[in-house]
Amino acid sequence: MSDAAIPPRVQRFIATHIDSIEKLEILLLLRAHTSREWTAKAVSLELRITEASAVARLKDLSARRLLMEFETSPPTYRYHPATVEDAQDIAELQATYSLRRVSVISFIFSKPLDRVRGFADAFRLKRDKDEGDG
């Protein structure tokens, strides 16, 4: 399926905030249980991922102001987007993911390739330019 199956608003949100399926799944898990505070261990058990991965993803989502981090021991997290726009984007992301799971997953996986291609193209363009100078 093409990116056209994903609304532009959702594409922008993914491009800005989501770089892995784990991060997406964690965000949507916490959104589904808004009144609950989650530890990394609880998230890792629920989603069957490593606790270290859960810690990294939770901290990143918190830094992006999509989750609230509570400085307990161990830290706990709760779904709490900083803006109404983020909350709306996440709701639309949830709806799109429910209907077009494969398209969303494909879009997320295509992001790093685009960055790598852009990086590689920058070197190719520079080399081509240098060769033309000689």
Residue 101 lies in a domain: yes
What kind and span of H or E run contains 68?
strand 67-70
Q: Supply the pTM of this predicted model.
A: 0.80
**CB–CB of 44/34 below 8 Å?**
no
Provide the pLDDT confidence category of residue 2 given band limits of 50, 70 and 90: low
Residue 81 lies in a domain: yes
Phi, psi of 100 (to 5 degrees): -135, 55
pLDDT tens, position by position, 62-86: 999 999 999 999 999 999 999 999 9
Amino acid at position 16, single letter = T
> Which long-range contacts does 61-64 make (Cβ < 8 Å, 24+ apart)?
61/17, 61/23, 61/26, 61/27, 64/17
Name the residue among 31, 24, 80 with its Cα closest to residue 57: 24
Measured from the Cβ of residue 89, the count of other Cβ atoms closer than 10 Å reads 21
Residue 127 lies in a domain: no
Beta bridge partners of 39: 76
Residue 18 lies in a domain: no
Q: Which domain holds residue 39?
A: 26-107
Query: Is 105 a residue whose pLDDT tops 60?
Result: yes
Residue 14 lies in a domain: no
Q: What is the mean pLDDT of the chain?
A: 87
Count CA atoms closer than 13 A to 101's CA, side-chain side.
Answer: 3
Provide the pLDDT confidence category of residue 110 given band limits of 50, 70 and 90: confident
- Four-point Cα dihedral 29, 51, 21, 121, nearest 10: 150
Measured from the Cβ of residue 36, the count of other Cβ atoms closer than 10 Å reads 13
**Number of domains into which the chain is organized:** 1
Residue 56 lies in a domain: yes
At 60, which CATH number? 1.10.10.10
Residue 113 lies in a domain: no
